[in-house]
Structure 1
Amino acid sequence: MSAPRRAVPALLFGLLLGGSAGGCTAEPPPPSTVAEPPAMTSAAAEPAAARTPVVLLDPGHNGGNARARGMVNRLVPDGRGGTKACNTTGTSTTTGYPEHAFSWDLAQRVRALLSEHGITVVLTRPDDSGVGPCVDERGAAGERADADVVVSLHADGSAPDNHGFHVAYAEPPLNPAQSGPARVLAATLRDHLRDAGFPVSTYIGRDGLSPRSDLAGLNLSTRPAALVECANMRNPAEAALLSSPEGRERYAAAIAAGIMSFLTWW
């Protein structure tokens, strides 16, 4: 991966992370990493053409996973020297609304909102009726797409009394994209979801952020990547919100705003 377009200003880094994420107390980048703006060599010099931002959306699971257990259970690299299952079927509400359908619908809504702002959006799967792709393929997809940002979309399945969203990022970091930009991305998404009125998780992570070492898609990403668990599908109130088009549009608006906010820095 190429060097960041600009380094994280120390104050912004601290404000976004809030010093509250479990294990997320990274120091600001050393002065040697702070990029200086290029000097204009001529009054007639023209600015370079702006690059269209590319966002990779990774809607979790897939509609055909349940009928292909042998394929989704095969082991693939986890990015930290181990292995884990290619994929899973995901969870569902108690009334049967599946996570794969939720994440697919949410991805379409986020894509539509980002596309309105001229952002190129790539998805890790073409529909909600296939199998996979495996988590290692999803982890490599950002590099293949030359993406500026990678956001994986999920909903959780926990005890019914648990509620709230959390945003996961790879920790400890394995490459430069994970050591700073991914943390800023996670915090920015957290802030926009919280500002949109969604409560942070009561059962995992801290203050809506969850550093993880066990998620292969994040471990293997060489681009800034975060995974959003929007809510607990087993909580009745959150299940009703996730199952409604209006609720999914609210999540999509907050996530798209978070992505665009991150892109203004990155």
Structure 2
Amino acid sequence: MSNASGSQMTPRLVAGAAVLFLAAGLAGCSDGSGDGGADDRQPAAASSPTARPAPRPQPSQSPERIASATPSASERAEPTQAASPREAAAPAADGPLKGKVVVVDPGHNTRNAQHTAEINRQVDIGTGHKECDTTGTETNSGYSEAAFTLDVAHRLRSVLQAQGAKVVLTHDGDRPYGPCVTERAEIGNTAHGDAAVSLHADGAGAGDRGFHVILPASVRGGRADTSAIVGPSKELGARIAGNFVRTTGSAPSNYIGKGTGLDTRGDLGGLNLSTIPKVFIECGNMRNAQDAAQLTDAAWREKAAQGIADGIRDFLRG
């Protein structure tokens, strides 16, 4: 695992971490009060159409560190309007995931900042009310979380479809904003998914780095009742975390999850309202120069998609 300064793990520690997650990671989960990504907790400011959640104070970065995180022009560009989820390519005729339905939820939307009134609208998440959606965060060089999550969603869909799974996206860059967190959950429930994953990247302090998987807490209130999904979601999260370490070489978060890469929360509508096994994954911290260099690298994003897909496959095959 990475240390407090955010240095990378040695190959031996990376390999050991994958085993640790599957064998004992769940024992180290925090309770539902654990602090998560800033983008999941703060709404966009209605007074500014480009407002994003403010990161915690961070030291200035050297030009070399900033340059290492600068995405290419194609990465900074708005995602092209791909086919809608219903028009996506069909799954392979055969494969280890034949007959399985996987719901992939690309966090946020690149146009959310243009619809602050709509995304700031409060929605009922069962245990309370929360913003419909948020703008998400971005790297210091301007690569948005929403662009990142949609890119990884497309890569993940391709990998899963090649293994025979039917993949349902909650959106495909084809909406003016959102969808709201309530609708994201409902899309998965209506699809009767066998597993669901919501893709994110964090916006924490500059010294914080690493990934973490968010698991649903046991909550009940209003329309929220996670009693049936807490157990399988923990298993899904542990499988994804272990494979993510092995495939990407990334370290578990040094600021959330006490080194396990796993965190449990009861304040996320996308988890509270889900009736199918579901987790969130914060693939890294966009405000950390080392993590940003990975998140803006297409080859690394392919590895991230593969690691998540491998975790889903292991979960679904038992």
Aligned to 1:72, the other structure's residue is in SS state helix
8 Å contact kept, 2:26–2:234 = no
User: Structure 2 CA distance, aligned partners of 1:129 and 1:229?
Assistant: 23
Q: Which amino acid aligns with 1:15?
A: A
Aligned to 1:112, the other structure's residue is in SS state helix
8 Å contact kept, 2:31–2:264 = yes
Go from structure 1 to structure 2 and tell me whether the alpha carbon gap of 1:150 and 1:172 turns closer, same or farther (over 3 Å shift).
Answer: same
Greater RCO (Cα-Cα under 8 Å, separation 6 or more): 2
Equivalent residue, structure 1, for 2:163? 117
1:113 positional shift: 0.4
Q: Which amino acid aligns with 1:199?
A: A
8 Å contact kept, 1:100–1:128 = no
- Residues 68-217 of structure 1 aligned to structure 2 (within 5 Å): 68-80=115-127, 82-127=128-173, 130-173=176-219, 174-196=225-247, 197-206=249-258, 207-217=260-270
8 Å contact kept, 2:226–2:273 = no
Q: Which amino acid aligns with 1:203?
A: Y
Equivalent residue, structure 1, for 2:301? 248
8 Å contact kept, 2:241–2:261 = yes
Q: Which runs of 4+ in 1 moved over 4 A?
A: none
1:129 positional shift: 5.8
User: Structure 1 CA distance, aligned partners of 2:140 and 2:262?
Assistant: 26
| 1:211-234 deviations in Å (ceiling 9; x for gaps) | 001111011000000000000001
User: Structure 2 CA distance, aligned partners of 1:238 and 1:115?
Assistant: 28
* TM-score normalized by the length of structure 1: 0.81
User: Structure 2 CA distance, aligned partners of 1:53 and 1:201?
Assistant: 30
Q: Which amino acid aligns with 1:222?
A: T
Go from structure 1 to structure 2 and tell me whether the alpha carbon gap of 1:56 and 1:159 turns closer, same or farther (over 3 Å shift).
Answer: same
Equivalent residue, structure 2, for 1:15? 23
Q: Which amino acid aligns with 2:262?
A: L
1:23 positional shift: 4.1
User: Structure 2 CA distance, aligned partners of 1:105 and 1:213?
Assistant: 27
Equivalent residue, structure 2, for 1:56? 103
Equivalent residue, structure 2, for 1:47? none
* TM-score normalized by the length of structure 2: 0.68
Alignment length, in residue pairs?
227
Unaligned runs of 5+ in 1: 1-12, 25-49
Taking only the aligned residue pairs, the percentage that are identical comes to 43
User: Structure 1 CA distance, aligned partners of 2:292 and 2:216?
Assistant: 27
